[in-house]
């Protein structure tokens, strides 16, 4: 069983933040929303270790004893249990866990032959900020099942609705990792129109892959299967991997936009990630050939 890994030394040269937004977070506590959390921050309760039950601030629908208990549980979960927080945070607030678990985060994206339950899985791309891994149907798909166990957080776009259920059904597994679905995080910030639409709104340029979408990815696989066209497979992998690598950029953009609205913007803002060298590039000649053959 072959495993395809593409790594670049300079892609490893980023620093993970040593400060966690999670320790400034209170909205994972039942009864505390964003408005109440802001009132806590304004009152000087800016992190868990500054919480005290004698606080004079009125907290509707929140038991101070229960808050103290849940904050103690939060401290225990901080190092190794991201699901403790994602199970308690709204989908659009799950960006908060990112820096704490960045070293064990995987960005994932899949390509399939369609959207129905009878569709087949064609390729998977996985990126963890250091190396790109890719998996191809008929070659090394099963290796994904072993590799994904090395991560505690999955970042996707619409992965909660599509990618993760598809993978679980296809491999007959359960992916228990915490999930950050950027569809919800970005929509809350006003970025919509699918993954490509969000990328364009945030200034991400796809170069030769501009205009290639999920439907075209299906045609590229068809071209590869029917004509043994390896340029079509390479273009499909370039597209799939680009989706995955761009998720890191989108994750950090969304995180920084959210952080800018908090009192912690200066110390918690993250630098833009270094982009890895990609193992494949789109073949424009192949793209044009597929467009002509299928009338796209």
The answer to whether residue 142 scores a pLDDT higher than 60 is: yes
Which pLDDT band, with edges at 50, 70 and 90, does 60 fall under? low
Question: Which carries the bigger pLDDT value, residue 248 or residue 211?
Answer: 248
So what's the pLDDT on residue 10?
37
Three-state secondary structure of the chain? CCCEEEECHHHHCCCCCCCCHHHHCCCCCCCCCHHHHHHHHHCCCCCHHHCCCCCCCCCCCCCHHHHHHHHHHHHHHCCCCHHHHHCCCCHHHHHHHCHHHHHHEEEEEEEECCCCCCCCEEEEEEECCCEEEEEECCCCCCHHHHHHHHCCEEEECCHHHHHHHHHHHHHCCCCCCEEEEHHHHHHHCCCCCHHHHHHHHCCCCCHHHCCCCHHHHHHHHHHHHHHCCHHHHHHHHHHHHHHHHHHHHHHHHHHHHHHCCCCCHHHHCCCCCCCCCCCCCCCHHHHHHHHHHHCC
Provide the whole-model pTM: 0.92
Residue indicated by tokens 């103690």: 72
Asked whether the predicted pLDDT for residue 143 surpasses 70, the reply is: yes
Q: Residue 139's pLDDT is what?
A: 95
**Residue 12 above 50 pLDDT?**
no
For residue 241, pLDDT over 80 is answered with yes
Mean of pLDDT values over 56-67: 78
Task: Point out the least confidently predicted range of 61-65, 176-180, 282-286.
Answer: 61-65
- Cα–Cα dist 73/107, whole Å: 28
Average model confidence (pLDDT) for the chain? Answer: 92
pLDDT at 224 over 90: yes
Beta-carbon-side half-sphere exposure of residue 287 (alpha carbons within 13 Å): 19
**CA–CA separation, 95 and 158 (whole Å):** 14
Q: What is the pLDDT of residues 86-101, one digit of tens each?
A: 999 999 999 999 999 9
Q: Using one digit for the tens of pLDDT, what is the confidence trace for 63-82?
A: 888 899 999 999 999 999 99
């Amino acid at each position: 069983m072959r495993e395809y890994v593409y790594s670049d030394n300079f892609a490893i040269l980023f620093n993970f933040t040593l400060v966690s937004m999670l320790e400034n977070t209170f909205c994972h506590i039942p009864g505390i929303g964003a408005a109440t959390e802001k009132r806590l921050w304004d009152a000087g309760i800016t992190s868990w270790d500054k919480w005290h039950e004698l606080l004079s601030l009125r907290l509707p629908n929140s038991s101070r004893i229960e808050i103290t208990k849940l904050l103690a549980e939060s401290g225990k979960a901080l190092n190794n249990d991201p699901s403790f927080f994602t199970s308690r945070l709204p989908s659009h607030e799950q960006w908060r866990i990112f820096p704490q678990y960045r070293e064990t985060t995987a960005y994932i994206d899949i390509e399939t032959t369609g959207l129905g339950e009878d569709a087949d899985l064609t390729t998977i791309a996985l990126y963890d900020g250091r190396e790109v891994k890719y998996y191809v149907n008929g070659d090394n798909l099963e290796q994904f099942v072993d590799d994904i166990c090395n991560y505690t957080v999955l970042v996707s776009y619409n992965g909660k609705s599509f990618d993760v259920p598809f993978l679980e059904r296809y491999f007959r597994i359960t992916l228990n990792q915490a999930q950050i679905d950027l569809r919800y995080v970005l929509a809350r910030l006003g970025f919509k129109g699918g993954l490509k639409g969000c990328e364009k709104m945030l200034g991400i340029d796809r170069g030769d892959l501009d205009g290639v979408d999920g439907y075209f990815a299906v045609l590229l696989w068809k071209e590869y299967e029917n004509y043994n066209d390896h340029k079509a497979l390479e273009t499909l992998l370039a597209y799939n991997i680009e989706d995955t690598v761009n998720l890191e950029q989108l994750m950090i953009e969304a995180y920084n936009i959210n952080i800018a609205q908090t009192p912690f913007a200066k110390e918690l803002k993250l630098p833009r990630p270094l982009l890895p060298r990609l193992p494949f590039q789109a073949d424009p000649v192949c793209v044009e050939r597929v467009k002509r053959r299928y009338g796209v």
